[in-house]
């Protein structure tokens, strides 16, 4: 179950549509049809039906692994247990949102902070009879895998859901054009407070399923959908202190410790101040009365200062020039903007800086990385203070006898932690690379690198072979990423970490989903403008058929695909290296497709 990219204004929506047009290689005059669906602020659930019978229900979890909550979901009246319609698919995974409406929440508000927390807590009850007492509801909006579904659009699917007995959002619409999306957004936001359920934005999906399939996904989100978040909630508070937090990449982030306030049902006690330049620009000081803003899942931040309420003895905040580890901080020069970055950093010392090391460990166990159940940020902080963990390999060599004697622990909780840790000793290469917290290597780049290396052994021995420049052949990896990777492998402590983790973990080789495609073991590069198809879609087609794309002409290149006005240098280099040069039609013939 993928996440969604976020939009916050009209500009974001224009860019989203522009990316869609570029990928599909269609002009801006082509009118894209959207399924427009207000996003209920609840808990995502997946309902699996076999032969019309509801058999399994799962929570979203981290998007790949969720909890089996079948028995709890079966207590919800909105979820059909059996569907007898002839056109209902043989197998289908219905996706939707579990929520509590605002009227019902009034009776529960003494126990929970907001309706979403109430729904989440209720779904995780161990006894379904306890869940049954909570007025949970379900709205369906999508599907995962399916067999036998014969529909062409998302809006057709929503209509079918209603016919099959599922509740759907009454505010769903079909619209064309960003202007109409904005008008609808403004209209719904105005009546948001009067709705019977909480919504935190509107989801826009490309309506046509065939276009959705062509667009596909990036690392953890579909290209064909975006969530338009509602405007932020604001509140007034006082800054009690300003602390400097060091991130896993060495960035120094100032954080305002504020008098706790409730913003949109969430108790807020911290607000980011972004960077040194932001503090200077807004002249933010300890003791100031400030407006704090929180938008959706975005971290709360200080919007403005009420200078009229500032105390006479107030002093300007002095940003530290040294990291707590003792090193002088720096502001890096950006070659693109020709300016120094706003963010001040501790030089990327990795695990040699205690502050960075601690944040790297938090990243290592995070959801998108190792996702160790019950091993959150607070556990990392506590175990760090007790010297139980200092490096990633320490997590897999914990002394559980010692842990069970700690305050708040016991034999059962220590054994549960042991089980959670041992369960994650097997991990995919892409998740492992991401877990290392190498600067500029996010989920998408980790996936690209894992495909390139194929195995942990090849990744680990990169520094020995010193083939860093070869990484430029990976389409999507540039000099910035290569400098970060080179810096990571230049530190002996990182090489030790890799060797130790190799002994403790089962890091899986990359599984090629389609290893028998017609382009197997072939590499491609595109130059020039293609007809009715974008480079991004060509890349997607190549990968779907077991081929690879590279970013430059070399001996390793098998085919150079040329369109209109190809780069002469690339064509000449290809000829000199005897690389086969083909046009768009010849490429599509290789796939048994026509332009």
Q: What pLDDT is attached to residue 296? A: 64
Rounded to an integer, the average pLDDT of 280-284 is 94
The per-residue pLDDT for 347 is: 85
Q: What is the pLDDT of residue 161?
A: 97
- Residue 161 CB coordination number (10 Å): 19
Residue 258: closest CA among 293, 227, 232: 293
- The bridge status of strand 333-334 relative to strand 301-305 is unpaired
Per-residue pLDDT of 301-352, as tens digits, reads 999 999 999 999 999 999 999 998 889 999 988 877 888 988 999 987 889 9
The H or E element containing residue 544 is helix 535-544
Whether domain 5-229 has CATH 3.80.10.10: the reply is no
Q: Where are the domains of the chain?
A: 5-229, 232-347, 350-424, 428-508, 523-590
Closest CA to 581 of 590, 572, 589: 572
Rounded to 5, what percent of the chain is helix, strand, coil?
Answer: 35, 25, 40
206 burial type by CB count under 10 A (0-12 exposed, 13-18 middle, 19+ buried): buried
Please state, in angstroms and rounded to a whole number, the distance separating the CA atoms of residues 426 and 143.
29
Task: Give me the pLDDT at residue 168, please.
Answer: 96
Percentage above 70 pLDDT, the chain:
98
Confidence check: pLDDT of 232 > 70? yes
Strand pairing of 523-527 and 137-147?
unpaired
Q: Looking at residues 245-258, what average pLDDT do you find?
A: 94
Cβ(331)–Cβ(338) below 8 Å:
no
Asked about 39 being catalytic, the answer comes back as yes
Q: In this predicted structure, what is the pLDDT of residue 53?
A: 97
The listed CATH number (1.10.150.20, 3.60.15.10, 3.40.190.170, 1.10.10.10) that belongs to domain 428-508: 1.10.150.20
Please report which confidence band the pLDDT of residue 437 belongs to, taking 50, 70 and 90 as the band edges: very high
Provide the pLDDT confidence category of residue 595 given band limits of 50, 70 and 90: low
For 472-491, how does the pLDDT look when each residue is reduced to its tens digit (9 = 90+)?
888 889 889 999 999 999 99
Q: Give the pLDDT confidence score for residue 416 in this predicted structure.
A: 95
Tens of pLDDT along 384-429?
999 999 999 999 999 999 999 999 999 999 999 999 999 999 999 9
Residue-wise burial string across 350-376, b where 16 or more C-beta atoms lie within 10 A, e elsewhere: bbbbbbbbbbbbbbbbbebbbbbbebe
Give the mean pLDDT of 82-89: 94
Between 594 and 416, where is the model more confident? Answer: 416
Q: What pLDDT score does 581 carry?
A: 96
277: three-class secondary structure by DSSP:
helix
CATH (residue range 523-590): 3.40.50.10190
Predicted pLDDT of residue 467: 82
> Are the C-beta atoms of 557 and 579 separated by less than 8 Å?
yes
Rounded to two decimals, the pTM is 0.76
Which of 416, 419, 352, 427 shows the shortest CA–CA distance to 390?
A: 352
Band (38; pLDDT cuts 50, 70, 90)? very high
CATH T-level topology, domain 350-424: DNA polymerase; domain 1 (1.10.150)
With 80 as the cut, is the pLDDT of residue 18 above it?
yes
- Please say if the pLDDT value at position 34 is more than 70: yes
At residue 137, what are phi and psi to the nearest 5 degrees?
-130, 165
Q: What is the pLDDT of residues 188-219, one digit of tens each?
A: 998 888 899 989 899 999 999 999 999 998 87
How far is Cα 571 from Cα 585, in angstroms, rounded to an integer?
17
**Quick one: pLDDT at residue 469?**
85
559: pLDDT strictly greater than 70: yes
Say if 5-229 and 523-590 have the same CATH topology.
no
Q: Which of 531, 500, 234 is nearest to 390 (CA)?
A: 500
- pLDDT for 273 equals 95
Give the pLDDT confidence score for residue 111 in this predicted structure.
81
Catalytic-role residue among 18, 19, 39, 589: 39
Q: For residues 367 and 218, what is the distance between their CA atoms, to the nearest angstrom? A: 18
**Residue 154 confidence class, pLDDT cut points 50, 70, 90:** very high
pLDDT surpasses 80 at 512: no
Provide the CATH number for the domain formed by 232-347 in this structure: 2.40.50.140
Task: Calculate mean pLDDT across residues 221-246.
Answer: 92
* Summary mean pLDDT of the chain: 91
Q: How confident is the model at residue 535 (pLDDT cuts 50, 70, 90)?
A: confident
Kindly indicate the confidence band of residue 227, based on its pLDDT and cuts at 50, 70 and 90: very high
- Mean pLDDT on 32-46: 94
Helical H runs in 133-252? 154-163, 178-190, 209-215
């Amino acid at each position: 179950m993928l996440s969604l990219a976020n939009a916050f204004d009209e500009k974001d929506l224009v860019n989203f549509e522009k990316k869609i047009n570029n990928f599909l290689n269609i002009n801006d005059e082509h009118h894209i049809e959207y399924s427009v669906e207000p996003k209920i602020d609840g808990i995502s659930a997946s309902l699996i039906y076999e032969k019309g019978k509801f058999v399994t229900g799962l929570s979203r979890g981290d998007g790949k692994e969720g909890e089996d909550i079948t028995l709890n979901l079966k207590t919800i009246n909105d979820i059909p247990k059996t569907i007898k319609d002839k056109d209902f698919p043989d197998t289908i995974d219905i996706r939707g949102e579990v929520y509590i409406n605002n009227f019902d929440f009034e009776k529960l508000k003494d126990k929970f902070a907001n309706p979403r927390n109430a729904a989440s807590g209720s779904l995780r009850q161990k006894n379904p009879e306890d869940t049954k007492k909570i007025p949970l509801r379900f709205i369906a909006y999508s599907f995962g895998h399916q067999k036998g579904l014969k529909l062409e659009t998302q809006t057709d699917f929503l209509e079918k859901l209603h016919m099959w007995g599922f509740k759907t959002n009454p505010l769903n619409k079909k619209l064309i054009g960003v202007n109409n999306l904005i008008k609808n957004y403004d209209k719904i936001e105005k009546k948001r407070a009067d709705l019977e359920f909480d919504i935190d934005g509107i989801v826009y999906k490309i309506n046509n399923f065939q276009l959705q399939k062509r667009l596909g996904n990036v690392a953890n989100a579909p290209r064909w959908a975006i969530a338009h978040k509602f405007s932020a909630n604001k509140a007034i508070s006082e800054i009690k202190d300003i602390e400097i937090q060091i991130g896993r990449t060495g960035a120094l982030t100032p954080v305002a410790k504020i008098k706790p306030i409730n913003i949109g049902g969430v108790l807020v006690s911290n607000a980011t101040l972004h960077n040194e330049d932001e503090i200077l620009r807004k002249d933010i000081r300890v003791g100031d009365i400030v407006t704090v803003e929180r938008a959706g899942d975005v971290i709360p931040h200080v919007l403005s200062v009420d200078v009229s309420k500032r105390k006479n003895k107030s002093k300007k905040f002095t940003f530290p020039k040294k990291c707590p580890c003792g090193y002088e901080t720096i502001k890096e020069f950006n070659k693109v903007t020709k300016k120094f970055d706003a963010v001040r950093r501790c030089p990327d010392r990795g695990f040699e800086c205690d502050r960075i090391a601690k944040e790297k460990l938090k990243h290592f166990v995070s959801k998108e990385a190792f996702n160790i159940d019950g091993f959150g940020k607070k556990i990392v902080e506590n175990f760090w203070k007790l010297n139980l963990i200092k490096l990633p390999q320490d997590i897999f060599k914990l002394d559980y006898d010692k842990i069970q004697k700690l305050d708040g622990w016991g034999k059962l909780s220590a054994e549960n932690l042991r089980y959670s840790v041992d369960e994650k000793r097997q991990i995919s290469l892409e998740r492992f690379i991401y877990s290392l917290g190498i600067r500029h290597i996010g989920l998408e780049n980790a996936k690209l690198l894992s495909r390139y290396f194929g195995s942990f052994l090849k990744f680990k021995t990169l520094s020995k072979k010193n083939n860093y420049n070869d990484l430029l052949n990976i389409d999507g990896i540039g000099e910035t990423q290569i400098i970060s990777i080179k810096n990571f492998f230049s530190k002996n402590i990182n090489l030790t970490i890799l060797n130790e983790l190799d002994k403790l973990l089962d890091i899986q080789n990359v599984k090629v989903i389609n290893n028998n495609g017609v382009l197997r073991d072939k590499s491609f590069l595109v130059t020039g403008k293609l007809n009715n198809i974008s480079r991004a879609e060509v890349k997607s087609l190549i990968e779907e058929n077991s081929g690879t794309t590279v970013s430059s002409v070399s001996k390793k290149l098998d085919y150079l695909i040329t369109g209109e006005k190809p780069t002469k240098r690339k064509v000449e280099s290809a000829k000199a290296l005897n690389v086969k040069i083909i046009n768009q039609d010849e490429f599509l013939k290789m796939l048994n497709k026509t332009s």
